């Protein structure tokens, strides 16, 4: 594993998450969840555009319309046009949306379904009765529940052939692996893929099927073989790494979002780049995201 730092984008996000690459527009998208901001980085010019979001935006997926994203907001799934600041709800969480529950990590599978899991947003979450769920929004706009009893949903990603799904309940400090029926979108019983030193956050998969995970709390990007063996790791100069994706014309850059949420002034003084976006050159290559259905008649 070799990461060569090429740029630090000074955005100082409170909670930078769901960084994704749009190969059609040659740009990066990511969200600062708590600040209700959506970021767009033009790859060629390196110009950044910031869009306000109507509520906390937790995860992003591309659609067949480049001007519209499919999104997990804190309260449910919706189409969102950043340029027009327009939202169209597809599904809002029902009775399960309690005071301490919100959606969190999300990603499109290889067939274009949008998955997102919810989390318990409370410092004493283990002692509350509330629990999150893992949802799937299919290409017809129907929502189904596939897992329950979750504290913090994270690490959603798929093998290149779409036959393996990865998922983590962050406080359990382990990444799970499940066989995935790509035709029906069904999951097998989970098995442990890897145990982690700290909480596994956002993940991505490269063309060789290796899983790259941002490990929250110790500032580490981990690279795992499909077997679960550790191939390598790289330490960032910040403790709260949140999400990663491959980007660039050849998909050989790794972009890592970070956070400064709940860091004391003393820690921020030691980690001045906390919350910034890191861009690394790699010797690996990623995969383009799939697209959610064309919704040009929606917005």
Both structure tokens of 271: 């980690």
Could you give the percent of the chain with pLDDT greater than 70?
Answer: 98
User: Which residues, in sequence order, are bridge partners of residue 16?
Assistant: 32
* pLDDT beyond 80 at 174: yes
Both structure tokens of 254: 């790794």
Query: How many whole angstroms separate alpha carbon 275 and alpha carbon 149?
Result: 30
* pLDDT beyond 90 at 175: yes
Q: What is the pLDDT of residue 95?
A: 79
Going along the chain from its start, the domains and CATH numbers come out as 3-282 (2.120.10.30)
Q: What is the pLDDT of residue 79?
A: 97
Could you give the percent of the chain with pLDDT greater than 90?
Answer: 94
Q: What is the pLDDT of residue 98?
A: 83
Query: How many whole angstroms separate alpha carbon 87 and alpha carbon 180?
Result: 31
* pLDDT beyond 60 at 296: no
Query: How many whole angstroms separate alpha carbon 85 and alpha carbon 80?
Result: 7
pLDDT mean over 284-290:
97
pLDDT mean over 241-246:
98
pLDDT mean over 156-167:
98
Q: What is the pLDDT of residue 204?
A: 98
pLDDT in tens, 12-41: 999 999 999 999 999 999 999 999 999 999
Q: What is the pLDDT of residue 295?
A: 64
Own/partner pairs for 271-274, CB < 8 Å, 24+ apart?
271/237, 271/238, 271/239, 273/8, 273/10, 273/237, 273/238, 274/12, 274/238, 274/239, 274/240
Q: What is the pLDDT of residue 298?
A: 62
This prediction has a pTM of 0.96
* pLDDT beyond 90 at 94: no
* pLDDT beyond 80 at 263: yes
* pLDDT beyond 70 at 118: yes
pLDDT mean over 208-231:
97
Q: What is the pLDDT of residue 283?
A: 95
Query: How many whole angstroms separate alpha carbon 74 and alpha carbon 97?
Result: 9
pLDDT, mean over the chain: 96
Report H helices in the chain: 265-270
* pLDDT beyond 60 at 249: yes
């Amino acid at each position: 594993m070799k990461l060569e730092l090429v740029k630090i984008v000074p955005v100082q996000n409170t909670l930078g998450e769901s960084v994704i690459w749009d190969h059609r527009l040659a740009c990066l998208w990511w969200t600062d969840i708590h600040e209700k901001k959506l970021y767009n980085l033009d790859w060629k010019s390196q110009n950044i555009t910031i869009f306000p979001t109507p509520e906390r935006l937790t995860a992003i997926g591309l659609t067949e319309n480049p001007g519209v994203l499919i999104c997990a907001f804190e309260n449910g799934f919706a189409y969102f046009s950043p340029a027009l600041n327009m939202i169209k709800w597809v599904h809002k969480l029902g009775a399960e949306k309690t005071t301490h529950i919100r959606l969190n990590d999300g990603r499109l599978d290889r067939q274009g379904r949008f998955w997102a899991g919810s989390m318990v947003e409370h410092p004493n979450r283990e002692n509350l009765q509330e629990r999150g769920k893992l949802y799937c929004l299919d290409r017809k706009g129907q929502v189904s529940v596939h897992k329950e009893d979750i504290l913090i949903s994270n690490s959603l990603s798929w093998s290149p052939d779409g036959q393996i799904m990865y998922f983590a309940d962050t406080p359990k400090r382990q990444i799970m692996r499940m066989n995935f029926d790509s035709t029906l979108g069904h999951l097998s019983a989970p098995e442990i893929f890897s145990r982690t030193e700290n909480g596994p956050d956002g993940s991505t998969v490269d063309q060789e099927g290796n899983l790259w995970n941002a490990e929250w709390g110790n500032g580490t990007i981990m690279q795992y073989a499909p077997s679960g063996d550790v191939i390598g790791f790289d330490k960032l100069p910040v403790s709260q790494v949140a999400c990663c994706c491959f980007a660039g014309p050849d998909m050989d850059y790794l972009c890592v979002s970070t956070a400064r949420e709940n860091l004391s002034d003393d820690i921020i003084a030691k980690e001045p780049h906390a919350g910034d976006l890191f861009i690394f050159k790699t010797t690996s290559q990623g995969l383009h995201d799939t697209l959610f259905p064309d919704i040009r008649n929606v917005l």
